[in-house]
Structure 1
Amino acid sequence: MSVALRLAFASLLIASVTTQALAVDLPPMVDAPEIDGPISDPAGWYFRGDIGYNLKLDAGDPTYKTYDATTQTSTTSGFDKSRMDRDATFSTGVGYQFNDFLRSDVTLDYFKATHNGKTGWSQCTVANESATGYCRYDSQSVSALSTLANAYVDLGTYWGLTPYAGAGAGVSYVKWSDVSGKRGCAYADKSDCGGLDYSHSKENGEDSWRFTYALMAGASYDITDRMKLDLGYRFSQIGSGDMFSFNDHDEFNGAFGTKGKDDGFTRHEIRMGVRVTGW
């Protein structure tokens, strides 16, 4: 056998032995599983709770009616002064996260505030027209319980923050308290002020259901895997409705219907809350 053939035979033998050795030492190949879709699925239910503050609460231009028993007609006027006190707000709700960008929830919101107004007019005049006087409306509290269906678009996560924008619509149950006011009469005999003791006049508060809508914007931050801190702004509008009725004296003389009407409520609110996810 020639030298060249011997070298070729030796090379083939070494290669065969090496291949068998490697085949024995190496573990069998394992096929990696195929992943179809995102690695984590954000879909699922969540619960939320929020507290807020009305930066601005505007009742528009509320009006009231004065009743003339002689002509049995009513005249509508605006308050000389009208101001709404701002107050805290509270909200809770449950929602569903559909994907990384879309979620919705149903919320129950509550706030309470006080309307302070003042107006005066000649109402103590009796038959001989010798009496003069005034009536003054002081204050009336209002509370509103709203239920809204909301939808949000999450705009991606950047450095742990997820900005969002949303909108909602629903109804509010608005309840006005009885009017807390003082009445006065300049007639010499206070007991003869048109047959009414103005210091004890009472006007009952009204309540009603009203359409409500809201627009929201803010950002959330992941505190843990299942808890998010939410800081946002909300603009909301509650429709107009009744405030208070005529007093017993006016109704006795023929007045009917609602005496005071509000112009609805425009709210600019800042809110902070927590969302707890279930996935």
Structure 2
Amino acid sequence: MARFRHRISAALGLGLLGAAPALAADLLPPPPPPPAAPVEIGGGWYLRGDFTASDFRHPKDDTLPGTDGAKLVGFRLSDTDGYGGGVGYRFNSFLRADITVDARTRSRFRDYSSRTLFTEGFNTEAGKLDVLTGLFNVYADLGTWWGFTPYVGAGVGFASKRFHDAWTGTTCFTTTCGDTQPIYAIGPQGYDARSSHTALSLAWAAMAGLSYEIGAGVSIDASYRYLEIGKARTGFDVYTQNTRIKDIAANEFRVGLRWAFGNGFALPGLGSSAPVY
């Protein structure tokens, strides 16, 4: 009987020794949570710089109703080029957006209006046009093959168009040239200056292009852009007349570089807190 009691006491002792670690673990505080993952700042930002060649389409006459003289014909805006830049952000591998500003060199403008359907003479109107655009653009990258990434995009913003060095002149084929009083010579009759004027209007663009990353976050970007910039006009001459044109648009070809900021920099986990006991 005594031997049986010793065996029960030993079994109880071993059971208590086995339960002691579990009881101690229950009494200890829980381990702290793992630190929050670092938050990356600036990884999607990029800068860009572009060279632009602009092929302006022929604008249309915007002469106000009731203005003396025939409708304008023979419109011409010369081709020009320019430079621009911007800053953008890549949201993911498919979507990015940027803000760009592009300035262009002066485009030469010229048009004509008739004097009695060009049988007695004609008027010439000419000047120079500066075009500055600022656009917010959104792009969809369509995947990458052998390092090349095609994309499409659209933009909307403003266009500033400054007409300057404008003038108008008459060339006569007859001594009357359609006027009530005769003139004394056939040919150019002199020129009247028209003052400068700046017009600000809505602009929009549609584009498609191809980029290629050459390393270190630098990509070569080549694209086509169709640009609509609205209306422009000169100031007035001594006869309170001016030149007005509308539907100004350009086919633009752009080549430039994009530089991604890299992987940005990491901040410690935000929003984490130490455990409270």
Instruction: Report TM bin, short chain.
Output: 0.5 to 0.7
Partner residue of 1:83? 76
Residue in structure 2 matching 1:261, options 234, 244, 248:
244
Where structure 1 has 5 or more consecutive residues not aligned to the other structure, the ranges are 1-35, 67-72, 123-131, 252-257
TM-score with structure 1 length normalisation? 0.67
Q: What are the Cα deviations for residues 119-146 of structure 1, in whole angstroms up to 9, with x where unaligned?
A: 2327xxxxxxxxx975532421101111
2:254 maps to a residue whose letter is R
Residue in structure 2 matching 1:103, options 73, 92, 96:
96
Partner residue of 1:202? 193
Residue in structure 1 matching 2:128, options 141, 144, 149:
141
Identity %: 26
Where structure 2 has 5 or more consecutive residues not aligned to the other structure, the ranges are 1-36, 263-277
Residue in structure 2 matching 1:244, options 231, 234, 237:
234
User: SS at 2:86's partner residue?
Assistant: strand
Partner residue of 1:58? 57
Distance 1:162 1:52 in 2: 20
The verdict on how the C-alpha distance between 1:178 and 1:133 changes in structure 2, with shifts beyond 3 A counting, is farther
Partner residue of 1:129? none
Answer whether contact 1:42 1:99 (CA < 8 A) is retained. no
CA offset at residue 46 of structure 1? 0.7
Map 1:188-227 → 2, pairs under 5 A = 199-227=190-218
CA offset at residue 182 of structure 1? 3.5
1:117 maps to a residue whose letter is D
Task: Let me know the Cα RMSD of the aligned residues.
Answer: 3.0
Partner residue of 2:261? 278
Map 1:37-186 → 2, pairs under 5 A = 43-54=43-54, 56-64=55-63, 74-75=67-68, 77-111=70-104, 112-121=106-115, 134=121, 136-184=123-171
Answer whether contact 1:220 1:230 (CA < 8 A) is retained. yes
1:269 maps to a residue whose letter is E
Distance 1:77 1:63 in 2: 12
Answer whether contact 1:64 1:76 (CA < 8 A) is retained. no
Partner residue of 1:29? none
Partner residue of 2:272? none
TM-score with structure 2 length normalisation? 0.67
Q: What are the Cα deviations for residues 163-209 of structure 1, in whole angstroms up to 9, with x where unaligned?
A: 11111100011101132444456669xxx889xx9524222232110
CA offset at residue 264 of structure 1? 2.8
